[in-house]
Structure 1
Amino acid sequence: MPYNLNKYVIISLFLGANILFASQGKEDVKLDDITIQESVNKKNPETIDLENTLKEVPGGTNLIKMDDITSSKASISKVLNYEPGIIVQEFFGGNDQPRINIRGSGIQDNPVNRGIQILYDGLALNHPDGSFIIGMIDPEQADHLSIYRGSNAMRYGATTLGGAIDLNIRNAYNSSNSLAFEVGSFEFRKAKMTFAEKIGKFDYHLYASHSQQEGFRNHSEGKRDSIAFNLGYTEENWDNRTYFNYTKNDFDIPFLLRKEEAKNNPELVMGEGHGPLGELLNISIRKPKRESKEYRLANKTKVFTENSVQKIGFYTSKTEDTFRNPLTEMETDIRNFGLDYSFNYNHLLKNNLLTNYLLFVSANKGEMPRTYKSINPLDGSILRKIADVDLDASNVVLGGQVTQELTSDLKALASVQWVLNKREITDNKSKNLLDSDFSYSVLNPKVGLIYEPYEDLRLYTNFSTSSESPNFWQLATVVANPGNPLNDHVQINDLKMQKAKTFEVGVSTKYENFDFSTAFYYSEVDDELISVVGDFAVNGKTINYDGKTIHKGIELGVKHFIDSVFLENDKFVSKLIYNYSHFTFDDGEYEGKYLAGVPKHLIQAEFGYWPNSSWYLGANLRLQPEKTYIDHYNTESTKQDAYYLLGLETSYNITKNLRLFLDLNNITDEVYQTAYVVRGLSAPDLPNFIPGAGFNLTAGLVYKW
């Protein structure tokens, strides 16, 4: 694709401005006064406690400090994108609806709705059946994110292959008042405000934001409104916090294109000159979309003694969700109530070795009544109601864990988790035709070791089992025909619980100016929930694979710091991320073939330079060096192309309180496919791909006081 003049002008201005401000700041203050990344040298107690907690996990974890991110944090994909063990694929034309994969979890779903437990301050955000709407998450509500990869999330009730993402929410103790505005390509706009104050033993934090965009492709408009309020009360030995969240997230779905169309006309949608298939799946007429609105109320109490911590939390939520694909529309009214309790106790033995005991329980129950409707192919109106079903789900997780110091530098961990998931489907339209009850229970054990011969060297290993029950998107699916919608119907899939056995070994260390961490995992998965989407990529069906699958991979992260590179007080930081994902079918129908949906190799790098305390210049790289299979049959002619993306970013503190930043993305205007529908068997003449956005930019202004 030819480069345009405007892009070169912007890049030239970007580089020129960096040189100018760098030269102006040579006599600026010490490096220790850097305010662009306050948490480089300034940590709040919550972050320190969490860092220590993560060190007690004998497995792969991530800690993302939001104040360390100098560029835009407007979407969850931007925040998670450069992390070991996390693979993010943009979806739905660039709206904030990414597919997130951790160790092979749920990336085959369109959109992603399972495979990860998502939490706000340790309280689950997932719906009663375990599903979630990824676009409801506004990461800027968080002070930091902690990610527990795989079974390392056992404490939080996660039973999935992917683990858990916990958003540790901002409050008056870890944030200040602020106003921020962002503008960008494709008519992107975002405004947010934060007010926080401590009043005696009380504190409050109020966050509100609005974002919208036209989108890279036609029919990809989106907007999101968020309000988050929390009120805390703190005593010497206990504290309590109440949370209220409101989110409204609406976006249009531009759907898929065939490979050549995605390469030659990436901005278009089906129905805009795509022949008979475009006429059949005319997006301008059928108008696929998703409109969701959620209210959430939660409360959490912590009680401390010298040797123990107790936490108890309650939450309730109401969600209205309308999800319309090109052929059918599903309306779901979701109500959920849950609780979480944990008791943590430290006991010092006579030989001065510490024993830690942890007991935890989480439970939730809810209803998700859903109606299914056919769409008129002539004008996009609702043609008829296909089904009206009551969906009820409940979950109970009980667990315990013991961590024992064996020597001053060696710890052993043993834990077990009992899980009970129930799913009930009641047909209100066809007189019990679809009625089904599913009950899943399992015991998941885990053992692990942590060896720390030196303060900055940590080695660990663990063996664990995990499980995942299907949600209602997998259990009740629509069979639809675009040419004959009167025959559309809902079918029930008799699915088993997915189970996995995982071995993991890893190391993390700091040596002089290097931070290094890597983990190797090997999982044997039975009855894996896999996607076998066919025909028009709408009739998505999930099955339990009739054989064993193997998930193995390497998660690698390296950071390097150098002070006084060119100037007396400058700083250079580089970061390399490598994710190796080798997922194969061990036997069964697809024996010896790769599971589709995840790139085998993904390389990411970031480079940051501070000429002085006020100015930051960065560059980033995302490289997918090999073509990737999009179907389990491993059809060569329909692979996703290899690609690389280059970006630049800069941030400048105009005053102590006012910061300006600019992000330039895909500066080479690379034509690529960011994501695709995962099929059992694919063909070049089917709609498979979602094109990635070309060159684009985002600029923002942040004022704090």
Structure 2
Amino acid sequence: MRPIKQEETRPLRPLALAIAAISAGFSVPAFAEHVLPAVTINADAQNSAFSVSPAKALNELQKAPGGVSVVDAQDYLTGRAGTMEDTLKLAPGVFIASRFGSDEARISIRGSGLQRTFHGRGLLLLQDGVPINLADGGFDMQAIEPQATRYIEVERGANALRYGGGTLGGAINYVSETGRTSPVLSLRAEAGSFYYQRYNLSAGGQKGALDAFASANFQEQDGFRDHARQRNTRFVGNVGVQLSPQLENRTYVTVVETDSELPGNLTYAQLKADPRQANTRAVARDQHRDFMLYRLANRTQYTHANGDSTEASVFVAKKRLYHPIEFFPTGPGVLEQDSQDWGVGLRHTANTTWDSKTQQHIVGVQWRHGLTDDERYGYANNAFVPGQGFAVGQARGALDHRQQLSADNIDLYGQSSWDWSPKLTTVAGVQSSFATRKQTVEIDNNGLDPATGATLLPTGSYSESYQRTSPKIGLIYRLAKDTEAYANVSGSFEPPSFSEALNNQPLKAQRAITAEVGARGHIHLADARLGWDASLYRARIRNELLTLAVGTSSATINADKTLHQGVELGLSARANAWRAQASYLYNDFRFVRDASAGNNDIAGLPSQVLNAEVAVKLPGNVWFGPTLQSASRAWVDHKNTLNAPGYSVYGVKLNQSMSNGFAWFVEGRNLGDKRYASTTGVIFDAGGADQAQFSPGDGRAVYAGVSQAF
């Protein structure tokens, strides 16, 4: 057993008090027939443009001729609900794996941003239809509060065009509770292994034309691994006003403070020997990723007399990042950034009739601008420790580099759907994107590190412009009442973020043509409703942003030609006495006659991934059942000489909801205490040698929680 550190002996007294407060005074009620407490929704919510039900949202999404889904928060709130992985692990087509049980994760759809295990890329992440991404395309997982979310929309690939999403992966939209949809007061407390504790207080209400919702959340954990402590404090709220039956306005506020220790990666031998240990260099430099985020957004929608709608949105965000990390391959550093981002959007939806056929047309524009002041410092002590081969010391040293990073994006998009018959709908769309990336170096102490003799990373200013028009065409054919097939061919386009340009070399934009076919639907069998969503896709990519060889080292550059293809399958079944849900991914990502990598597999993601849950209903509306997370091997290097072996981990969930709004859960994860790599770093060539690129998955863990809705 690992020795307990002095600072780890914190009692969970706040949790005990929270449970006592929530539980006190409740008599045993009649049991509800719902999975989670039923919430009475004001009928006026149905007239709100921004308080749409999950079922209605899914119906709207399925007007796209491709893979889409909705994740209802009521499903993931039956267990621990602390990270994006907790919310999205069962979403069809989504690969997500936490680095070390924290918010930061590798998240990818169709191989988008597959090399990232932090600060995501390749997806349009939205909150209530307004982009969370920084202007350069990157996004932070910590900006999302799962327990203030009503449901999540997932639009894979070009199916995100209605939001102006033009990347390979598509879009994920977290839709918040509002005062029209939330309970008047809701309390929730979670706690469990590795000193995990999380508390949420939310309130909402409506009076006349005005409604408001607010959620305050505190989460803390020491983490499974050493030097993996994380603390998050979030406030999320929104205020809406129905100015007239046709006009609605809503303002959203987000404040996030997050502090995360970074344990670093291990060799596979280290992982098998002791997965709880941290990388010694990460501890020596006390590596962290901490930031403060302030975000304000506003949406206004006007519904015209003929049913058309016009929506305008605006957002501003400010972030302060403190990031001690050895982010240079040739030396250590402390990264500090101040960034300001803002954006405006305008979208119009029109419904028409021609020759007795109905059509829907969407046109829009989204403009985002970002400005970042970037400073990089050395450490005060860069002396090597004898026998260790690296320097120690955590105090910030002198300024090495200062630069200003500026990004602009303008996306013009349009889409037209035509219902030719009750069975056939065709969809055609186009997006034109214009982007700039500008780096202005103000201070650069280039040369040799006086302590180590290492060459400092060369830097330089640059200014690049990118533009491309991407088409889309597709169709939906209804095979039966509740079954339809779809197909589409679409383009995608993604300029590089500044993280890709860390080597200070301007890069080309990534572009692709993707073909997709699939089917979705549901049938009723006895008392069960069985549903499915299956997609097959093939994407031919040019200039994919990958880590490749550059002389004797590695850097992110543009690969020439690559191929991404695969299968996305989602299955669900619900009956009175049981329910089941599963998500399966088959990933085939490879180079195409690359000068350095040949036709090798692209490293980063397993070729097969399965997540599943089954539950049966016991007396008293108690639900009980197993969970499964399984993945095949994943290559660590593009030369395909080092891999993370496949794994399967099992868990169990037990939960109950009562008619008075009280609910509880107990969840066990990785009950076999398997030692495995949940994700890895990505390099060009490991030469078959074990390297510190493996991030251990959490060991055996048990979590419990209670909630009360009034």
| TM-score normalised by L of structure 2 | 0.87
2:148 is matched with 141
Whether 1:324 aligns to 2:332 is no
Counterpart Cα distance in 1 of 2:445 and 2:84: 42
Map 1:132-281 to 2 at 5 A: 132-176=139-183, 177-234=185-242, 235-271=244-280, 281=281
2:310 is matched with 310
Counterpart Cα distance in 2 of 1:41 and 1:586: 53
Comparing 134-143 with 261-270, greater Cα deviation is found at 134-143
Alignment partner for residue 418 of structure 1, among 432, 449, 452?
Answer: 432
2:450 is matched with none
Partner AA of 1:693 in structure 2:
D
Alignment partner for residue 541 of structure 2, among 502, 506, 525?
Answer: 525
Partner AA of 2:534 in structure 1:
T
Whether 1:634 aligns to 2:640 is yes
CA drift at 1:685: 4.2
Whether 1:49 aligns to 2:62 is no
Alpha carbons of structure 1 residues 499 and 367: separation in structure 2 relative to 1, 3 Å: same
Whether 1:346 aligns to 2:360 is no
Q: Deviations over 1:396-418 (max 9, x none)?
A: 00111111111121011110000
Q: Secondary structure at the match of 2:634?
A: coil
Map 1:295-694 to 2 at 5 A: 295-305=294-304, 306-326=306-326, 327-351=332-356, 353-375=357-379, 376=381, 377-430=391-444, 434-475=460-501, 477=502, 491-512=503-524, 513-532=529-548, 541-545=555-559, 547-563=560-576, 571-588=577-594, 589-612=596-619, 614-624=621-631, 626-635=632-641, 638-653=642-657, 656-682=660-686, 683-694=688-699
2:35 and 2:656 in contact (8 A); partners too: no
Alpha carbons of structure 1 residues 535 and 385: separation in structure 2 relative to 1, 3 Å: farther
Give runs of ≥4 in structure 1 deviating > 3 Å. Answer: 37-45, 430-433, 532-536
Alpha carbons of structure 1 residues 619 and 540: separation in structure 2 relative to 1, 3 Å: farther
Partner AA of 2:578 in structure 1:
F
Partner AA of 2:199 in structure 1:
A
Counterpart Cα distance in 2 of 1:212 and 1:50: 33
CA drift at 1:454: 2.2
Alpha-carbon RMSD across the aligned residues, in angstroms, is 2.4
CA drift at 1:37: 6.3
CA drift at 1:373: 1.6
Alpha carbons of structure 1 residues 338 and 540: separation in structure 2 relative to 1, 3 Å: farther
Map 1:95-106 to 2 at 5 A: 95-106=102-113
Comparing 368-377 with 172-181, greater Cα deviation is found at 368-377
Q: Deviations over 1:231-273 (max 9, x none)?
A: 10013112110111100111000001111001111111233xx
1:28 and 1:612 in contact (8 A); partners too: no
CA drift at 1:42: 12
1:38 and 1:68 in contact (8 A); partners too: no
Counterpart Cα distance in 2 of 1:415 and 1:201: 36
Q: Secondary structure at the match of 2:569?
A: strand
CA drift at 1:130: 1.0
1:658 and 1:704 in contact (8 A); partners too: yes
Q: Deviations over 1:61-113 (max 9, x none)?
A: 1200101221121211101011210111111x211111101100112024242
2:41 and 2:181 in contact (8 A); partners too: no
Partner AA of 2:339 in structure 1:
I
Map 1:70-109 to 2 at 5 A: 70-91=78-99, 93-109=100-116
Comparing 309-318 with 675-684, greater Cα deviation is found at 675-684
CA drift at 1:672: 0.5
Q: Deviations over 1:389-443 (max 9, x none)?
A: 0001111001111111111210111100000010111011149962100100000
Comparing 363-372 with 678-687, greater Cα deviation is found at 678-687
Counterpart Cα distance in 1 of 2:547 and 2:37: 42
CA drift at 1:226: 0.4
- Number of matched pairs: 641
Partner AA of 1:230 in structure 2:
N
Counterpart Cα distance in 1 of 2:303 and 2:613: 40
Comparing 42-51 with 316-325, greater Cα deviation is found at 42-51
2:37 and 2:663 in contact (8 A); partners too: no
CA drift at 1:613: 5.9
2:37 and 2:709 in contact (8 A); partners too: no
2:352 and 2:358 in contact (8 A); partners too: yes
1:6 is matched with none
1:170 and 1:205 in contact (8 A); partners too: yes
Partner AA of 1:411 in structure 2:
T
Counterpart Cα distance in 2 of 1:467 and 1:417: 9
Counterpart Cα distance in 1 of 2:201 and 2:550: 45
Counterpart Cα distance in 1 of 2:554 and 2:292: 24
Alignment partner for residue 699 of structure 1, among 693, 697, 704?
Answer: 704
Alpha carbons of structure 1 residues 103 and 65: separation in structure 2 relative to 1, 3 Å: same
Q: Secondary structure at the match of 2:500?
A: helix
Counterpart Cα distance in 2 of 1:55 and 1:645: 33
Partner AA of 2:432 in structure 1:
W
Q: Secondary structure at the match of 2:612?
A: strand
Partner AA of 1:419 in structure 2:
S
CA drift at 1:311: 0.8
Q: Secondary structure at the match of 2:609?
A: strand
Counterpart Cα distance in 2 of 1:500 and 1:206: 41
CA drift at 1:160: 1.5
CA drift at 1:516: 1.5
Partner AA of 1:407 in structure 2:
S
Q: Secondary structure at the match of 1:249?
A: strand
Counterpart Cα distance in 1 of 2:41 and 2:257: 36
Comparing 639-648 with 110-119, greater Cα deviation is found at 110-119
CA drift at 1:340: 1.2
Comparing 516-525 with 605-614, greater Cα deviation is found at 605-614
Map 1:112-123 to 2 at 5 A: 112-123=119-130
1:632 and 1:680 in contact (8 A); partners too: yes
Alpha carbons of structure 1 residues 132 and 372: separation in structure 2 relative to 1, 3 Å: same
Could you tell me the percent identity over the aligned residues?
A: 26
1:582 and 1:600 in contact (8 A); partners too: yes
CA drift at 1:627: 2.2
Which runs of no fewer than 5 residues in structure 1 stay unpaired?
3-26, 272-280, 478-490, 564-570
Q: Deviations over 1:497-524 (max 9, x none)?
A: 0000000001002122321110000000
CA drift at 1:41: 13
Partner AA of 1:79 in structure 2:
T
